[in-house]
Each structure stands twice: as C-alpha cells, then as structure tokens.
C-alpha cells in the first residue's frame, strides 16, 4: 500500500467523471464506506449511497460529509415469495433512474441484491468484501463459484479473502487486496498527531504513559494491573458457519481467562460491546451467566460505547479471539499503540507481527491462556509496552484509511475504463465506453 499523506486526492485528468452508486444493506453499520465515498467525491465523481430508510449512524455520517443518500426499495431480506421479487424489481427501477457507471455493493445481502437487480444493465459491478464470514459457508462458496463472474472486480479487504476467491477460480487482477483501513489520526495515542508514516516512538511512549494513568483513574483500574481488553459486539449465532458458536469468540476468551487468572493475580479483563439485536442480547446474557461474569471481580463487561478510545488508552493488551474475522479490532488497538493477541481466523494474522503481538489457533482456550501468560510476564518485566510502539508503526504504515480509500477509487476508475474499452458504449458524459 502507498504511504499515507495528508493531501486530498485531486480529480484525475485522464478519466471521465463517473456516477458511482454504493449499495449497502444497513444504515447503522458499514461506516467503512464513508472514507471511500468521500475520496470518490473529491476525485470529481458523483456519489450516491442506496441504503435502508431511517435515521441510522451511517446515514448521518454520510450527510455530514455531503454524500447523497437514497432509500432502498428492497429490504435485503431474501424470502421465497413475491415480496422479494417485487423489491428486486423496484431496486432495478431505481438503478435505471440513477444510471450508474459503477455499482459498488457491500455486505453479502446487498451483493446478491445488486447483482440480481442490475442484470443486463450497462454498468461496472464492484463487490467490496470487508469480512470473509460468508465465504466460510460451504453452501455460499458453491454459489459464489458461479456468481463471482457477475462482478468486474472484487475488492478484498484482506489477503485471506483474496485467497478464498482464488480457490473459487477468480483471476488475480480481479481480486485486489485493499484494507478498509482506520483513521490513524483519530485513533492515536498522541493528541493532534498527524498520520505521519514514521512514528515518533518517544512521543508515543510518553503519551501512552500519561493517558493510561488518566484513563485508569476514570475506569477505576489500578496502575499495577495488566488490563486485557476485548472490543467486539456480540452477534447472533450464524448456523452455516462456526458450528453455531459465538462468532467473535467471547466464550473462548472467557474460558481462557478462567485458566489464566489463577496464576495472574494482577490482571483484569475488560470487554466492551453489547449484543446486536434481541437474539444477540440473549446470547450475551447467557455468556455472563455461564462464566459468572457478574460475580468475578477480575472481569468487567461494558455495553457498547460510542468512543472506545478511553478503553484503549487504559489497556495494556487487546485480544481478538474470533472464529471468523476480517481485520477486526486489532488494527484499532494497534493504532492506539496497544499490542494484540489474535486468533488465526481470516485476516487477523495480517494485523500483527512477531514483535507487535501473538497469533494463536482459533477456538483454543489453552493456547490463548498461554499467550495471555506470555504477555503477563512481559508486563511484569516492563517490556510489553514496546510491542505497542511496533503495533502503532504497523497500523500507520499499512492500515490508514486515506491511502486505502484512494486505492479503492483508482480500482473503480480502472474497472470502468476497462469496461468502456470492452463494451464500446456511450457513458452519461458522452465519452465512449
């Protein structure tokens, strides 16, 4: 990935302005589309985001940046009835009215809807894959083996996802890897620090020490305690993947903590994240009851919060024990100069190096407990914090969302230009495709 810099992308002189429609199945999540949408607009393209109606977090964020949104007539629920067909037909009519040069869909339900509703329309289709969960279903893999051919390009958020599509027969040029990225200026241990490609280790170390003390005072955590943090929603159980288990691995961590805490008297586990929906809330309550969280003084479980920076500032170690994942919370922790223990699921191993964290086998509480013990030993020796400096360097170099967003725009432009040359038809601007 190119090195991050602060300059906004300038309009390309060698490419016509495009009308780009982004299709996403949520108005609350999917915040990762905001930065690419802004980069598209800054490059001179017209951007419209089609998403479910309502006042969601994503809708508000897009409005803040002047990105136009349109309510989707399709609910993104696939049922074997006339309602689904009617919704897809209405979505097709909307796309015909919007006349996109490029249709960019995110999340698998939107991908299926976008593919079906745009069949036969003269446009470029770009599938952006943030998380690989759907590809870990044998049924969906069989479907994707055929349907990926409807996409001109599949932008893979992790190298793992790209390998999954390679196994389905997708040629290398059609599955580029571009991370969604994070804002490494906002998620930074140094207030006001710009996203420079070279990290000032001394400034990070000093800021981390000061912020850690203040954050712990706010959260009621003692200075001499190893604070282990897991930031993740609890999701409804997915029956087709992970054998119906909690996908983020909360149960794996809580079991590992039982084994680890007996030999680590100065350690505390903090979980941040509520359940998404009623089913997930019930699952969260079941986990709290099963592992006795309410009666364990070494564990605190917060509901979801709007800003997790306070918790990262207080933490010594982040844990991502997912059974399936893209890059997950590990990149946020890294940006905040917090080292991580991650499972080997999906793209998680791509987010740490040997000197910034640990990788353990997924769904293995014993291995996770051993990694926690290794981190605890380094904490007691005063060497764990140096891993956080390396983590920050890694995040700035490879996971900043600004260069990632610019690369996504370039991919869309190249895909549209390729289709123009292949099809030879006029665009809305009169340029021949």
Backbone angles phi, psi at 317, to 5 degrees: -155, 140
Residues 255-283 have pLDDT tens digits of 999 999 998 999 999 999 988 888 889 99
Mean pLDDT value of segment 27-37: 92
- Express as a percent the part of the chain with pLDDT over 90: 77
Whole-prediction pTM: 0.88
Question: Helix-strand-coil percent breakdown of the chain, rounded to 5?
Answer: 45, 15, 40
Mean pLDDT value of segment 32-48: 96
CATH 3.20.20.220 for domain 19-181+400-423, yes or no, is no
Judged by average pLDDT, the poorest of 13-22, 104-113, 385-394, 412-421 is 13-22
CATH 3.90.76.10 for domain 201-398, yes or no, is no
5 pLDDT higher than 60: no
C-alpha to C-alpha distance for 244 and 272, rounded to whole angstroms: 22
Mean pLDDT value of segment 84-101: 97
Counting DSSP H helices and E strands in the chain, the numbers are 14, 12
412: left (phi over 0), alpha (psi -120 to 50) or beta: alpha
9 pLDDT higher than 60: no
Confidence of residue 14 (pLDDT cuts 50, 70, 90): low
Judge residue 42's burial from the number of C-beta atoms within 10 Å of its C-beta, 0-12 exposed, 13-18 middle, 19 or more buried.
middle
> What is residue 192's predicted lDDT score, i.e. its pLDDT?
63
Backbone angles phi, psi at 303, to 5 degrees: -75, 180
> What is residue 420's predicted lDDT score, i.e. its pLDDT?
72
C-alpha to C-alpha distance for 364 and 253, rounded to whole angstroms: 9
Which H or E element spans position 272?
Answer: strand 267-272
> What is residue 401's predicted lDDT score, i.e. its pLDDT?
93
What's the whole-number average pLDDT of the chain? 90
Judge if 19-181+400-423 and 201-398 fold alike in CATH terms: yes
Judge residue 308's burial from the number of C-beta atoms within 10 Å of its C-beta, 0-12 exposed, 13-18 middle, 19 or more buried.
buried
19 pLDDT higher than 50: yes
Residues 250-262 have pLDDT tens digits of 999 999 999 999 9
Residues 197-212 have pLDDT tens digits of 556 788 888 889 999 9
Domains of the chain, residue spans: 19-181+400-423, 201-398
């Amino acid at each position: 990935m190119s090195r991050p810099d602060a300059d906004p992308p300038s309009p390309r002189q060698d490419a016509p302005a495009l009308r780009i429609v982004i299709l996403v199945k949520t108005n609350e999540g999917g915040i990762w589309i905001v930065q690419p949408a802004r980069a598209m607009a800054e490059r001179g393209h017209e951007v419209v985001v089609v998403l479910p109606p309502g006042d969601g977090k994503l809708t508000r964020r897009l409005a803040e940046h002047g990105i136009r949104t349109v309510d989707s007539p399709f609910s993104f629920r696939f049922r074997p009835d006339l309602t689904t067909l009617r919704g897809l037909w209405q979505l097709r009519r909307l796309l015909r009215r919007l006349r996109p040069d490029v249709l960019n869909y995110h999340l698998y339900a939107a991908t299926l809807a976008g593919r079906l509703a745009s069949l036969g329309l003269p446009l470029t289709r770009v599938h952006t894959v943030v998380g690989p969960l759907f590809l870990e279903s044998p049924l969906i893999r069989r479907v994707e083996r055929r349907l990926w051919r409807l996409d001109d390009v599949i932008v893979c958020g992790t190298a793992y996802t790209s390998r999954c599509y390679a196994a389905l027969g997708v040629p290398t040029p059609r599955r580029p890897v571009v991370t969604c990225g994070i804002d490494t200026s906002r998620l930074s241990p140094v207030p006001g620090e710009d996203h420079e490609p070279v990290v000032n280790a001394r400034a990070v170390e000093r800021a981390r020490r000061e912020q850690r003390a203040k954050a712990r005072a706010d959260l009621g955590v003692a200075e001499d305690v190893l604070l282990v943090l897991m930031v993740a929603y609890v999701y409804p159980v997915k029956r087709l993947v992970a054998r119906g288990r909690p996908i983020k691995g909360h149960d794996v961590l809580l079991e590992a903590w039982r084994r680890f805490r007996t030999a680590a008297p100065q350690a505390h586990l903090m979980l941040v994240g509520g359940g998404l929906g009623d089913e997930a809330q019930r699952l969260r309550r079941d986990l709290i009851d099963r592992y006795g969280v309410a009666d364990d003084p070494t564990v605190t479980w917060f509901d979801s919060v709007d800003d997790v920076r306070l918790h990262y500032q207080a933490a010594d170690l982040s844990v991502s024990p997912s059974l399936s994942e893209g890059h997950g919370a590990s990149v946020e922790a890294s940006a905040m100069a917090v080292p991580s223990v991650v499972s080997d699921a999906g793209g998680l191993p791509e987010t740490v190096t040997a000197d910034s964290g640990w990788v353990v086998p997924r769904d293995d509480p014993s291995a996770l407990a051993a990694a926690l013990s290794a981190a605890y030993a380094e904490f007691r020796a005063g060497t764990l914090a140096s891993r956080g400096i390396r983590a920050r360097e890694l995040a700035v170099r490879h996971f900043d969302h600004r260069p990632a967003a610019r690369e996504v725009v370039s991919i869309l432009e190249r895909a549209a230009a390729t289709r123009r040359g292949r099809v030879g038809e006029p665009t809305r601007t009169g340029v021949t495709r």
